[in-house]
A and B are shown apart, each in its own frame.
Chain A
Amino acid sequence: MDLLTLQGLLMTGLLRGGLYALMAVGLALVFGVMNICHFAHGEYYVLGAYAAFFAHVTWGLHPAIAILVAAVLSFLAGAVSEKLLFYPLRKLNQSGWVMNAFLLTAGLSVVLQSTYRLAFGTKYRGITQYWNASVTLFGMTVAADRLVAFGIALVTISGLWLFLQKTPTGRAIRAVSQDERGAMLMGIDLDRIQTLTFALGSMLAGIGGASLLSLSPAYPYAGSKPLISSWFVVTIAGLGNIYGAVVGGFIVGLFESVSYFALGQGWQEVASLLLLMLLLLFKPTGLFGTNIKTVWE
């Protein structure tokens, strides 16, 4: 492997890692606060992609606004699905929450996928580029879209970090993730926080789907690859660890691009699985796993 290939691999790995980090942060947030293993996360990614496509192509909006539209729509979709599904589940049956909520998201995923297929067909809806430009970095030409998507991911994650650290609502979210009962006793409105968390998680996925529209077009099943990868990230980083998910995203991004280059389709998945097995053998809580949450089942 010569230096240029290595550089290329590192570059694609990093850029891919940005998306994984964005998606995985959403997953980790939802798991950390609500104890939901979110299996329909990829469907919000697809929603974002569709929204951006229609906003940008059909209505001819500026890319930045299109991505914003996608963010708002997926935020709203997340809020609505939380109120419609997880809120009643929480009120009606408390026992076995983790498993029930997981199955619920599995059902939701199927319903959303089939709805997209019925509404938009199986056609690939993509664009060639948002911004017609390319940048030369370390002697390599990179499409501006990839860099912008990477930038959006970083900005969004930093924005979320600021929100969680500095604002009262963000603090309330972290409080709920640490101790639900304690947070409730401090007068935090749990229902509101949980709806907000789910909406935020969905928004992160939606932004991911929207900003990568030129690289991966929108179609009903586009969410499954990002979903698998981001679950992989979260399992490696430690379930529910938001900041671990960011680092994990880059690790997995690099690992996938290198192993794909070296092994090819099929064996790349085996390599990922082996990595996960080793991790579960030696550090089952994940690389950055902590025991902040004890409510598991």
Chain B
Amino acid sequence: MESGLQHRPRTPPRRRSLLRAWLSAWGLSPVFVVGVALLALAPLWARDAYLQRLLVVSLYFGALAMTFDFTGGFINAVNFGFAGFVGLGAYVATLVVRNAELSAWVGLPAAALATGLVGFLTGLLTLPLRGIYVSLMSWFVGMTLMALAGALKDVTRGARGLVVPPMAEGITTLGYLYVLLVMAVALYLLLHRIIRSRAGLAFRAVGQNFDAACASGVDPTRYKLLNFTLSCACAGFLGGFYAHFVGIVTPAIMDTSYTMEVMTLSFIGGSGSLLGGVVASFLLIPIFDSLKYLMEYRLIIYGLMLILVMIFYPAGLYGLYQTAAQALRQRFQRR
């Protein structure tokens, strides 16, 4: 390790243009720009309804993995009740639209608000403690939400589920894709700005070395609470969208296996990268969906991938991308 530090060739600080600095500050990396452009032009190349639906589902899971990573990859707290929060958002959005007869544009913010509140309370109790408590507690909270959704038959109709009206009159799959794209881009810009701010620095400090962060005068609980609440609110927001898209919510949406799926995508993508999970989602979900006979083995494959990534390559796809970019850059500089 020491010798590695000594022998590393000093690269002169590269001068970056103002534009590039601005792009990077907003997180507009090439991958992101190309991805958004491709999705925005989807009507040109994805005419098939099945393909469009696949794009929505992939983007949805990618966005979930991104919000999951905002907590898991930065403050080192795994929200193990993630699916519960997503489901809570779905139910709140549905109930607002069905019972209060308001539009989805009220329902989605209400969902974000409600899940944010539950996340805040969960975090308030557990985030002053060591990281694992918040995982356990959010898991218990998620299971309780699922049990309640099944038991409160007057409100949720139990396991039979609630039918959700579409988001707008006559909205198509393509319409949903655009709504979700706007939501996901907005969430990404928001989360990325926070990561780049002072708060983001504090997140990383708390996540990487808790004691050192405390010693440097960072109030860990405040920052962790901010992060956790925000991530839960985003999960609820997305959950509300999904309820409209699928058209039905049942307690099964809160099952821990969905948490596992999102968690795996986020870790395969590379923890602490935000976009890694989105890339992983666009790679894996279409593969599973096109190979129907793989569906049976889907969870096994997810589990195995999670295990292998954890043991052998914790940096994930983002690490791979960084290594490749580094190699390319060095090659160009040498010439």
Residues of A within 8 A of B (CB): 37, 85, 88-89, 92-93, 96, 98-100, 102-104, 106-111, 113-115, 118, 224, 228, 231-232, 235, 239, 264-270, 272-273, 276-277, 280-281, 284, 296-297
Contacts of B310 in A (CB 8 A): 89, 100, 103-104, 107
A297 pairs with B76, CB closer than 8 A: yes
Provide the main secondary structure of the chain B interface: helix
Contacts of A107 in B (CB 8 A): 260, 264, 302-307, 310
A108 pairs with B303, CB closer than 8 A: yes
Residues of B within 8 A of A (CB): 76, 78, 80, 125-126, 128-133, 135-137, 139-141, 143-144, 147-148, 150-152, 210, 256-257, 260, 263-264, 267, 296-297, 299-300, 302-307, 310-312, 314
In the complex the two chains form, what is the Cα distance from A284 to B133 in whole Å? Answer: 9
Provide the main secondary structure of the chain A interface: helix
In the complex the two chains form, what is the Cα distance from A122 to B147 in whole Å? Answer: 22
Could you give 5 example pairs across A and B, Cβ below 8 Å? A92-B312, A107-B306, A108-B303, A231-B140, A280-B133
Contacts of B152 in A (CB 8 A): 266
B263 pairs with A103, CB closer than 8 A: yes
In the complex the two chains form, what is the Cα distance from A59 to B33 in whole Å? Answer: 63
- Closest-CB distance, A117 to chain B (whole angstroms): 9
Interface centre among A264, A276, A281 (most CB of B within 10 A): A276
- Closest-CB distance, A90 to chain B (whole angstroms): 10
B307 pairs with A266, CB closer than 8 A: no
Contacts of B300 in A (CB 8 A): 110-111, 114-115, 118
B132 pairs with A99, CB closer than 8 A: yes
Contacts of B297 in A (CB 8 A): 114, 118
- With A88-B311, A232-B140, A269-B144 given, is the CB distance from A98 to B264 under 8 Å? no
A296 pairs with B263, CB closer than 8 A: no
Extra contacts, 11 of them, besides A111-B300, A269-B143 (Cβ < 8 A), are: A99-B132, A106-B260, A107-B305, A107-B307, A108-B307, A109-B303, A118-B300, A267-B151, A272-B140, A284-B129, A296-B131
- With A110-B260, A111-B300 given, is the CB distance from A235 to B136 under 8 Å? yes
In the complex the two chains form, what is the Cα distance from A297 to B147 in whole Å? Answer: 32
- Closest-CB distance, B214 to chain A (whole angstroms): 13
Q: Which one of A98, A99, A231, A269 contacts B148 once the chains associate, using CB atoms below 8 Å?
A: A269
In the complex the two chains form, what is the Cα distance from A66 to B248 in whole Å? Answer: 45
Contacts of B136 in A (CB 8 A): 37, 231, 235
Q: Which one of B128, B130, B260 contacts A296 once the chains associate, using CB atoms below 8 Å?
A: B130
Q: Which one of A114, A232, A281 contacts B303 once the chains associate, using CB atoms below 8 Å?
A: A114
A98 pairs with B131, CB closer than 8 A: yes
Contacts of B257 in A (CB 8 A): 110
Contacts of A100 in B (CB 8 A): 310, 314
**CB nearest neighbor in A for B146:** A269
- Closest-CB distance, B267 to chain A (whole angstroms): 7
A266 pairs with B150, CB closer than 8 A: yes
Contacts of B312 in A (CB 8 A): 88, 92
A277 pairs with B125, CB closer than 8 A: yes
B143 pairs with A228, CB closer than 8 A: yes
- Closest-CB distance, A13 to chain B (whole angstroms): 19
**CB nearest neighbor in A for B259:** A106
Q: Which one of A102, A110, A265, A277 contacts B132 once the chains associate, using CB atoms below 8 Å?
A: A102
Contacts of A103 in B (CB 8 A): 78, 263, 267, 306, 310
Q: Which one of A104, A113, A276 contacts B299 once the chains associate, using CB atoms below 8 Å?
A: A113
- With A110-B302, A297-B210 given, is the CB distance from A102 to B78 under 8 Å? yes
Interface centre among A228, A266, A267 (most CB of B within 10 A): A266
B131 pairs with A297, CB closer than 8 A: yes
Contacts of A111 in B (CB 8 A): 299-300, 303-304, 307
A269 pairs with B147, CB closer than 8 A: yes
In the complex the two chains form, what is the Cα distance from A37 to B130 in whole Å? Answer: 13
**CB nearest neighbor in B for A234:** B136
In the complex the two chains form, what is the Cα distance from A297 to B136 in whole Å? Answer: 15
